[in-house]
Amino acid sequence: MRINNFFSALKKDKLALLALFYLLFAVFISIVVQWIPIDPDQLDVIHALASPSPAHFFGTDEVGRDYFIRVLYGGRVSLLVGFLSMLMSMSIGVVLGLVSGYFGGFVDAILMRIVDVISSIPWIIMVMVIGMIFGRGFLSLIFVIGLLSWMEIARLIRSEVLSLKEREYVQYARFLGIPSGKILFSHIFPSILPTTITASTAAIASSIMVESALSFLGRGISAPMSSWGSLLQSSQKFLQKAPYMAVLPGILIILTVFSFNKLGEVLRKSLDPAALQGA
């Protein structure tokens, strides 16, 4: 079973195992952080930019809020943005990739030209335009990232479907007159599921990076809500006096993106038969 292959691969790759434990711990903390009896928005300007201490593990920010708890809440936002953006981009990319690859011809040409046109537009321009239309905020950020990151997924799924639709079982299903929708989702989609799962981990990592970049540029999460990217953005004004404000969210972004990519690598090797044969 492929799930057994995955756990066997994890046992052999200690770094991937650590990545999995880190991600599980990060998700767990994001869930339980709301029950920690510290208000992330409580101001204490008298102790603004206080150094790390037993009372404040990573000091306080420019208005005296506990920085460690804000980083934990920021992690919840960053992970949620990454996950929801992935769902949106994967939904668009997988559906369009399936349709484009299966029907081919005029449908394929039109959809791929749309992909090419959108991919050719600098993402910062699209961010500015979409931001002006929908404004800044949590939901609009997810919408922006989802709209900007489905094109490569569509290309990837299309290439898989182009190969799969020539298989004998698909040809036989078409010969029997089985509806195209049923063939796509009952016969072809299960075959591309390993690719879809692997692409999902990469999409989450990419979404977290994009969210961090947009927040750093001032186009992402807006106050009072915080994310790792927005915390990095606000910390740049205090690098000399409070360098810890940049260190913690920066390290967590790197660790999280690396962990998702590492997990995706192991998933690809354990779920993809071609990768298994080449191993």
Q: How does pLDDT run across 92-107, given as a tens digit for each residue? A: 999 999 999 999 889 9
Flag whether 52 is in a domain: no
**Whole domain around residue 231: which residue ranges?**
12-28+58-272
What is the pLDDT averaged over residues 74-79? 93
Q: How does pLDDT run across 196-231, given as a tens digit for each residue? A: 988 999 999 999 998 888 887 777 777 778 899 888
d(CA 3, CA 270): 8
Flag whether 7 is in a domain: no
Flag whether 107 is in a domain: yes
What CATH number did the domain enclosing 204 receive?
1.10.3720.10
Flag whether 33 is in a domain: no
- The model's pTM is 0.87
Per the structure, the count of domains in the chain is: 1
Which are the contacts of 233, defined by CB distance < 8 A and separation ≥ 6? 215, 216, 217, 218, 220
Flag whether 1 is in a domain: no
Flag whether 53 is in a domain: no
d(CA 40, CA 225): 10
Flag whether 36 is in a domain: no
Flag whether 2 is in a domain: no
